[in-house]
Amino acid sequence: MKQNRGLKDEDGSVLVVALIILVVLTLLGIAVTTTTEIETQIAGNEKVHKETFYNAEAAAMQCAQVLESTPMGDDSSESWILDYNEGNWGDNTPPTHILISAPNINAKYTADYEGVSDTGESLDLMKAKIHSYTIYGRADENNSMSMIKLGYRKAY
């Protein structure tokens, strides 16, 4: 009887299968490492964007608090709302009024006086008039820029 020669020479097949499995696991490990690095970069960018957004929002809210706490006169304008622009707002250029750095945060704010609002007024001259402002807050950090625009009204 003749034996099949192909079945007799199987000595190196385990080595070939082990090498194929090792290559597949190496490729899988490289893919997982690359994906993890990309996800880490995405999370870092999202963190920086959220920080700049919240700093810009904090600056705008701080500007609203300054307007709220400052007594207004009959001239209907703040002493810090002047025709002066410090800094570069980029493509989103607000009206040219003073740009103030907000303390305790890395942001700036400005306000634009819009005038006396028509809504809510009465014919009674003894009542307070509603003055409108547009408030801008801006923050720049790590190649990320956020800008907030708020409407603000104050009666006096």
Q: What are the pLDDT digits (tens) for 8-56?
A: 667 788 899 999 999 999 999 999 999 999 999 999 999 999 999 999 9
The domain tally of the chain equals 1
Strands (E), 75-124: 100-102, 107-116
Distances in Å between the Cα of 142 and the Cα atoms of 41, 52, 53, 61 are 13, 9, 12, 22
Give the pLDDT score at 86.
Answer: 44
Q: SS3 for 96?
A: coil
Mean pLDDT within 110-135 = 72
Residue type at 77 in one-letter notation: S
Domain of 44? 5-155
Q: Report the candidate in 116, 148, 119, 110 with the shortest Cα–Cα distance to residue 132.
A: 116
Residue 143 pLDDT greater than 60, yes or no = yes
Fill in the DSSP letter of residue 39: H
Distances in Å between the Cα of 72 and the Cα atoms of 121, 131, 132, 146 are 18, 10, 13, 30
Give the pLDDT score at 69.
Answer: 81
Mean pLDDT within 63-74 = 76
Give kind and range of the element (H or E) at residue 10.
Answer: none
Q: What are the pLDDT digits (tens) for 70-116?
A: 776 544 444 545 433 444 445 555 444 556 777 767 888 888 888 77
Q: SS3 for 84?
A: coil
Give the pLDDT score at 9.
Answer: 67
Please compute Rg for the chain using Cα positions. 32
Give the pLDDT score at 48.
Answer: 93
Question: Is the pTM of the predicted complex or chain greater than 0.75?
Answer: no
Whole-angstrom distance, CA of residue 78 vs CA of residue 72: 7
Reading the block at residue 117, the tokens are 């609002």
